[in-house]
């Protein structure tokens, strides 16, 4: 598999974030550092960037790719769920732009030993951070059938989760990515109808999300981003499945309202005041040209909001 990383919707992201010259920015999902390099070029010689990634390999790649920008770059290995703390430690506050690209990087997919893809045989790992004690193998081989089915249904949105869980339990122990993909394929009878995706795709998505607790991290970071942004600063979040997009959408809807009380209350009792203005009323999606040269961008959605 190619390990080339192509930043998704790069032009749309830069246009939407519109970082002012000489302002600080944060890339909370450094990945291949493509977005980070573009932000540094856009902000000019007076702009700094804090790049954060839970994957130490991504931080190492970022150091190499962004070396040309010298001391304008600060990189940290950490989960973006602790973004406010990391930013404070490195002197980043009231920044002009924050970006999260929640997709798994091409580098991670291309490293069979990480276990993110069933395109090549590898261990059932799926950890973004090597220090994470939970692996996909733990869930597949030791969790109860009901718990496994719940993970597949909740995080993979797979309606046939019970059937898949029964097949997995019956086939234990399962040690590799290809073995798991084969078990799922047999359980579902291979590709069905007009489905373009492999039958195991949703299962792998579900396991990866649960192993890395991705949705909880996203929910934790959103209010932190608001506190980090200067008035007029913008954040952009690129999601790749409906669970992530729903969390971002609802947060922006909430933070663009002055009152969160039920509509039947005659006066506001919550005291909530809007903190954001939505820049994208509907999510931006890649065009046909981008999808043609980067098929992994097909499901991407970009939402942008501005700090009031």
pTM: 0.94
The answer to whether residue 193 scores a pLDDT higher than 60 is no
Could you please state the CATH topology (level 3) that the domain comprising 112-212 is classified under.
Answer: DNA polymerase; domain 1 (1.10.150)
The top-level CATH class assigned to 10-107+214-307 is alpha beta
Q: What is the side-by-side strand order in the sheet with 276-278?
A: 73-77, 49-53, 25-27, 95-101, 229-239, 301-307, 276-278
The answer to whether the CB of 153 falls within 8 A of the CB of 203 is no
Compute the distance between CA of residue 92 and CA of residue 2 in angstroms, rounded to an integer. 35
Using DSSP's 3-state secondary structure scheme, residue 19 falls into coil
Rg of the chain over Cα atoms, rounded to whole angstroms, equals: 20
> How would you classify residue 174: left for phi > 0, otherwise alpha for psi between -120 and 50, otherwise beta?
beta
Note the pLDDT of residue 195. 59
Average pLDDT along the chain: 94
Query: How many C-beta neighbours within 10 Å does residue 220 have?
Result: 16
pLDDT digits (tens, 9 = 90+) for 248-288: 999 999 999 999 998 888 888 899 999 999 999 999 999 99
Note the pLDDT of residue 190. 62
Q: What is the DSSP letter of 81?
A: G
Q: Domain limits of the chain?
A: 10-107+214-307, 112-212
């Amino acid at each position: 598999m190619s390990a080339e990383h192509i930043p998704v919707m790069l032009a749309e992201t830069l246009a939407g974030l519109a970082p002012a010259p000489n302002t600080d920015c944060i890339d909370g999902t450094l990945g291949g550092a493509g977005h980070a390099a573009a932000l540094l070029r856009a902000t000019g010689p007076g702009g700094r960037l804090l790049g954060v990634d839970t994957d130490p390999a991504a931080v190492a790649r970022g150091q190499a790719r962004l070396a040309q920008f010298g001391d304008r770059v600060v990189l940290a290995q950490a989960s973006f769920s602790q973004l406010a703390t990391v930013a404070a430690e490195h002197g980043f506050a009231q920044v002009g732009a924050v970006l999260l690209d929640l997709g798994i990087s091409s580098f991670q997919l291309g490293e069979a030993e990480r276990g993110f893809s069933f395109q090549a045989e590898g261990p059932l790992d799926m950890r973004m951070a090597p220090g994470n004690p939970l692996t996909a193998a733990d869930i597949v081989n030791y969790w109860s059938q009901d718990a496994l089915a719940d993970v597949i249904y909740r995080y993979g949105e797979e309606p046939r989760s019970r059937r898949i869980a029964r097949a997995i339990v019956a086939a234990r122990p399962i040690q590799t990515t290809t073995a798991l993909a084969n078990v799922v394929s047999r359980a579902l009878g291979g590709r069905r109808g007009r489905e373009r995706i492999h039958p195991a795709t949703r299962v792998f998505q579900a396991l990866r999300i649960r192993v890395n607790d991705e949705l909880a991290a996203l929910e934790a970071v959103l209010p932190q981003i608001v506190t980090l942004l200067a008035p007029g600063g913008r954040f952009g979040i690129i999601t790749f499945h409906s669970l992530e997009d729903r969390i971002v959408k609802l947060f922006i809807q909430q933070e663009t309202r002055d009152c969160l009380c039920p509509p039947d209350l005659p006066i506001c009792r919550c005291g909530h005041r809007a903190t954001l203005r939505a820049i994208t009323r509907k999510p931006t999606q890649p065009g046909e040209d981008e999808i043609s040269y980067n098929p992994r961008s097909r499901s991407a959605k970009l939402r942008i909001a501005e700090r009031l």
